[in-house]
Amino acid sequence: MNLQDKKTVMIIITLVILAVTAGGASFIFIDKLLTPSEKNVEENQEEFIPEENFPEFTKDEWLSLSRERTLMVIIDNDVQARPQAGLNEGDIIYEFPLTEGRSSFMAIYSRFNPQLIGPIGSIQDYNVEIAQNYDGIFVLKGGSSQALELLADLNNLNSLGGGVDRAFWRKNDRVEPYNLYTDTQSLRRVAAQEGFADQPKIIDFNYLNEDESFIGEKAENIVIEYGNKDYLIQYQYEKNSRRYLRNTAGNKHLDDQGRQLSAKNLIVQIVRTDFSGEKEYLKIDLEGPGRALFFADGRVQEGKWQKEQGEIQYYNEAGEKVALRPGNTWIHIVPSQKPIVYQ
């Protein structure tokens, strides 16, 4: 299929979903048709070859991997911060909305230890609210005054304070402020020097066995919009690796090693948002409950999220905790007024 054909197919897909939504059969909000340029994906997408960095895990293998105390690292997603390092090694990657239709990442590490992570970004108060779930060590580069106040109750390694700059360094081949990096070995060494406990709090999803199916309607192409075209996200399901391959702003989203970012599972957590001040700060309601979409095996389930005893839990339509495929999961925190298109 040539590129023009792919554009046409995506336009048709969007029109169909818009019609279904108008008919009340879907709760996904579509506020506008995406332009053809926003739908472009590279024609050689199907040439993705799984690397040894992305092995298949059974449920038992994934759950038995050695766990260390969770590191929660804010990673910048500014256009100039790309390509990032360490995103493919996270157990979980959160993507949060920012003002002006932008987004940022929070990577959760407990199973794997990437040799390079960054560029390190700054925090918002809602990053701290999510981080409290994990009882981990927060890694950041400054942040809003509200967030830094909340941070006081968490073990943290802030490159702009606390005398822990020895856990970070700047790369000469990147432009400031998008050149601050770290790695898990340095972070854990400095955390031990600071007297932080190293006992992990184990938080995980329910996972499917190999002979169990993820039941849902087909969803092999997913579009998530935050509002700025430079942050438009597209995922394509690759059947051989059984992974979702990420495109951003119409191009493959590669890491610093030239590997395309990918996920075994995707969660879209739909939230209410508001602004404070002169639209200077984005406020996100993480108390819930709210709607959620779960993607695995090229299929989608609808459900909800809610906060229980300080932790966010995810449920399918039957009211059961959702069960995903063993492997890494990306969680997209998406404002309720933004469109989510899948087919």
Alpha helices in 104-155 (DSSP H): 125-131, 145-151
Which of left, alpha, beta for 86 (phi over 0: left; psi -120 to 50: alpha)? left
What is the mean pLDDT of the segment spanning 111-132? 93
Number of domains in the chain: 1
Give the burial class of 199: count Cβ atoms within 10 A of its Cβ; 0-12 exposed, 13-18 middle, 19 or more buried: exposed
Residue 130 in this model has a pLDDT that exceeds 50: yes
Provide the pLDDT for residue 132.
84
Provide the pLDDT for residue 34.
38
DSSP class of residue 32 equals S
Measure the CA–CA gap between 10 and 40, rounded to whole angstroms. 9
Provide the pLDDT for residue 31.
34
Residue 47 in this model has a pLDDT that exceeds 70: no
Residues 137 and 72: beta-carbon distance below 8 Å: yes
Residue 224 in this model has a pLDDT that exceeds 70: yes
Which of left, alpha, beta for 244 (phi over 0: left; psi -120 to 50: alpha)? beta
Provide the pLDDT for residue 250.
97
Tokens coding 193:
């020097």
Report the length, in residues, of the chain. 343
Residues 116 and 256: beta-carbon distance below 8 Å: yes
Residue-by-residue DSSP string for 35-69: PGGGG---GGGGG----TTS----HHHHHHS---S
Residue 265 in this model has a pLDDT that exceeds 60: yes
More confident residue, 242 or 279: 242
Residues 264 and 243: beta-carbon distance below 8 Å: yes
Rg (CA), the chain: 19
Residues 292 and 313: beta-carbon distance below 8 Å: no
What is the mean pLDDT of the segment spanning 123-137? 89
Long-range CB contacts for residues 314-323, cutoff 8 Å, separation at least 24 = 314/205, 314/267, 314/269, 321/205, 321/206, 322/205, 322/206, 322/294, 323/205, 323/206, 323/207, 323/208, 323/212, 323/214
Provide the pLDDT for residue 162.
64
pLDDT category of residue 298 using cuts at 50, 70 and 90: very high
Residue 43 in this model has a pLDDT that exceeds 60: no
Measure the CA–CA gap between 296 and 158, rounded to whole angstroms. 35
Residue 18 in this model has a pLDDT that exceeds 50: no
pLDDT category of residue 41 using cuts at 50, 70 and 90: very low
Identify the CATH number of the domain in which residue 201 sits.
Answer: 3.50.90.10
Residue 217 in this model has a pLDDT that exceeds 70: yes
Residues 113, 224, 81: CA angle, nearest 5 degrees: 45
33 lies in which domain range? Answer: 1-343
Identify the bridge partners of residue 145 per DSSP, sorted by sequence position. none
Of 259, 263, 260, give the one whose Cα is nearest residue 248: 260
Round the average pLDDT of the chain to a whole number and report it.
Answer: 85
Residues 84 and 75: beta-carbon distance below 8 Å: yes
Provide the pLDDT for residue 51.
52
Comparing 12-21, 95-104, 302-311, the range with the smallest average pLDDT is: 12-21
pLDDT category of residue 305 using cuts at 50, 70 and 90: very high
More confident residue, 210 or 18: 210
pLDDT tens for 319-342 read 999 999 999 999 999 999 999 999
Measure the CA–CA gap between 293 and 117, rounded to whole angstroms. 28
Provide the pLDDT for residue 27.
35
- Reduced to 3 states (helix: H, G, I; strand: E, B; else coil), residue 189 is helix
More confident residue, 219 or 15: 219
Of 70, 76, 287, give the one whose Cα is nearest residue 157: 70
More confident residue, 25 or 272: 272
Provide the pLDDT for residue 91.
97
Provide the pLDDT for residue 113.
95
What is the mean pLDDT of the segment spanning 192-217? 92
What is the mean pLDDT of the segment spanning 215-240? 97
pLDDT tens for 152-182 read 878 999 887 667 889 999 999 999 999 999 9
What is the mean pLDDT of the segment spanning 74-85? 98
70-92 burial: b if 16+ Cβ within 10 Å, else e? bbbbbbbbbeebbebbbbbbbbb
